[in-house]
Amino acid sequence: MSRFGLFAVGWQAGYGLVHLWWAVDGPPRFLMGRESYFPGRWVPVVISAVAMLGCAAVVAGSRRGLSDAGHHVLAGLNAGAGVVLCVYSFLFPVVIVSILFEGGGTDKVVSLLATGSGAAGGIFCLVIAANERRLATRPCRSCGRVHGRSPERRDERSPGWAYAGAYLAIGGFLARLSLWMHDTVTGQWPSAATRANGSSLTAMVVFLALMILAGTMLPLALAHRWGRLWPAWLGPLHGRAVPRWLVLGVGLFIGASLTAYFGIAGITAWIRGDLRGPFLPLLLEIGGYTLWGLGLLVASASYFTLTRPPCPLSATAESLAGTVQLHGEGR
């Protein structure tokens, strides 16, 4: 990890120096006229300096040895810097899609390099943060759990924060649904633009039905036991493990998409004044989608932990304990 840490320090330094140059001499021409939805100029310089400091502290700490508390502090510092870098570089996937479907250009190449470098630097910080957390918690080398503190089986109850995330997602969905219902009753949905695009009523109903499932059944499945083990009413499937990524993959994809699009881009555009309209409908739409996405991500984190494969060392220990008990009874 020390070599990777040194590489990350160099990466953050290069990213910061380029943005320092742009801050002093003026930025190049970006796609859509901006590198990020957030203020540029000195902001990325400060972010990269914090990220470089976090990575450098990890390199120095690995040579001197740190306490568990020290590893926790460095994990938090690098996680924060990594998240901020990734959020600042949010336009990276947008630039990729633009290049794939519209072709290249100088502004797109510059945007791709700038946002891609920021996203990569953020991921480097997150990887380092995860490693520092592992050093602090000293998990099992076989399964990554901290035995006695981490769930061992799918049938264990989800923590309270997972239920809070699931019901936060449902609340956000209901807020968005209330706006749909209002628009439907008042004849504003489907809109004239939707009709002009040739969208059939059947397609819109199917889309709405899928959205309802994603706003109700999906968050419940992420938090409740029946989302990890098939419930009794499914007969032959009762008690069998639900395919992990059938639920988790959808939860992460929808949660990340809603949080990124509405929670980052939508709220930023609203603050900048790019979105206009009555306050309450915008709040229900953007706020509802954001809470929906955040709740799904929180519940998905719990689902990810609860559905990890069983620890082979624990299984071996239980088997040996059973064998010893049988031998003892035989005597």
Cα angle 212, 159, 174; round to 5:
20
| pLDDT for res 33 | 85
| pLDDT for res 12 | 96
DSSP state letter for 236: G
DSSP state letter for 241: B
In tens, the pLDDT along 291-329 reads 999 999 999 999 998 998 888 776 544 444 444 444 455
Read off the pTM: 0.72
248's CB contacts (< 8 A; 6+ apart) are 222, 300, 303, 304, 307
| pLDDT for res 324 | 41
| pLDDT for res 323 | 47
Q: Which two tokens stand for residue 68?
A: 């568990």
Spans in the chain with pLDDT lower than 50: 316-327
In tens, the pLDDT along 72-90 reads 899 999 999 999 998 898 8
